[in-house]
Amino acid sequence: MSSLTAAFSPPTLTSRPAAGAHHIAILLATYNGAEMLPAQLDSIARQTHQDWSLLVSDDGSHDDTRKIVRAFAAQLPDKRIALIRGPRQGSAQNFLSLLRAAGRVPYVAFADQDDVWFDDKLARAISQLSPSAHPAIYGSATMITDQDLHPLRPSIAFKRPTSFQNALVQNVAGGNTMVVNRMALDALQPASQLAKRIVAHDWWCYQMVTGMGGMMIYDPVPSLLYRQHQENQIGANDTLKARLSRLKRLVRGEFSQWREAHFEALIAAEKWLSNDANLTLSCCAQLKSNRIGKRISSLQESGLYRQTVFGSAALRLATLIGRV
């Protein structure tokens, strides 16, 4: 029988043991998503990897979002599906609250309300994560679509290695593609309490997992249809227009504010990070030195890098003008 709550209540996924060693708790954050949510839920139901449960945190929707979730649960009485009240502090905090609410499950997968997963999304993630004996997170490229799910182009397939030095200045995979293993969750769940000001849960997860000595597994093959619409255009960064928009944010200092919020969370979580990661954070503190020469040398010493030529140039520019 479905564990869907009739009304908002504390999370229930931990009330029963996970179904198996490869059980995945899907963490879905919602807010006024009624128009596009059914397609996402249907794609979850079609997964070839069927050992999953679903925890939905709604951040105060005024449409039929919660009604749609309840109807979905009624259609799948053998699945554990729970609906809880979100913190109403923005998307990042909604996902972090879900992360804590998931309890001690083998894996978690983040889900957005407006995408459509490919049928093998979870199976592919498990096949790459399960051999790992270390903290690990899986993420992939996406197939970008228009609002009506007509494919436009695949997202950029990054080719440089993933690492803490990359994670400090860039995210490489959207949270909608991410699956996290238990060893990473052992740190992420308690550390999330200290990440009060972060702007992106997925970027923070990449930073934390690589910072603790774990690995980010990047799959260049798309795992979902990433729907572009008015509410999520910030997520598309592979066009010239989007890149110029992000460059403007960099010059205005928005990127610097985001970085500082994430650095604050990482420093607060230093006990989970490796010695090398903490040394890198200390080096990065010099990137806003009053002396340009010191900023440049600190960038070189830190080993920070981005994945693309454009991104690398933007990072150097940000360092020169003190906006990194």
CATH number of the CATH domain containing 135? 3.90.550.10
Domain end among 173, 201, 234: 234
Same-domain pairing of 55 and 152: yes
130 shares a domain with 87:
yes
Same domain? For 57 and 196 the reply is yes
pLDDT-derived band at 214 (thresholds 50, 70, 90) equals very high
Does residue 221 sit in the same domain as residue 247?
Answer: no
> What tokens appear for 302 in the block?
């830190």
- pLDDT at position 7: 40
**Statement to judge: residues 222 and 245 lie in one domain:** no
Q: What range does the domain containing 263 cover? A: 240-320
For residue 6, being part of any structural domain is answered with: no
Whether 217 and 251 map to the same domain: the answer is no
Structure confidence at residue 231 (pLDDT): 67
Residue 68 · residue 35 · CB < 8 Å: no
Q: Which pLDDT score, from 0 to 100, does residue 57 have? A: 99
Average pLDDT over the chain, rounded to an integer: 89
As for how many domains the chain has, the answer is 2
What does the alpha-carbon distance between residue 60 and residue 159 come to, in Å, rounded to a whole number? 39
Query: Are residues 142 and 222 located together in one domain of the fold?
Result: yes
Average pLDDT over residues 47-60: 98
Residue 111: DSSP 8-state: E
Alpha carbon 254 to chain centroid, angstroms:
19
- Where is the domain boundary, 164, 199, 234? 234
Residues 22 and 110 in one domain: yes
Kindly state the percentage of the chain with pLDDT values over 70.
85
Neighbours of 189 (CB within 10 A): 18
Q: Are 161 and 185 contained in the same domain?
A: yes
pLDDT of 174 higher than 70: yes
Residues 226 and 268 in one domain: no
Query: Of 5-19, 23-37, 90-104, 293-307, which range is least confident?
Result: 5-19
Percent of the chain with pLDDT over 90: 69
For residue 103, being part of any structural domain is answered with: yes
Which of the pair, 249 or 76, is modelled with greater confidence? Answer: 76
Confidence grade of residue 246 (pLDDT, cut at 50, 70, 90): low
- Do 268 and 307 belong together in one domain? yes
Q: Which residues make beta-bridge pairs with 84?
A: 57
Segment 246-271 shows an average pLDDT of 84
Q: What is the pLDDT of residue 239?
A: 61
pLDDT class for 233, splitting at 50, 70, 90?
low
- pLDDT value for 16: 47
Where is the domain boundary, 203, 234, 265? 234
Give percent helix, percent strand, percent coil of the chain, each to the nearest 5: 45, 15, 40
Residue 3 belongs to a domain: no
pLDDT higher for 14 or 220? 220
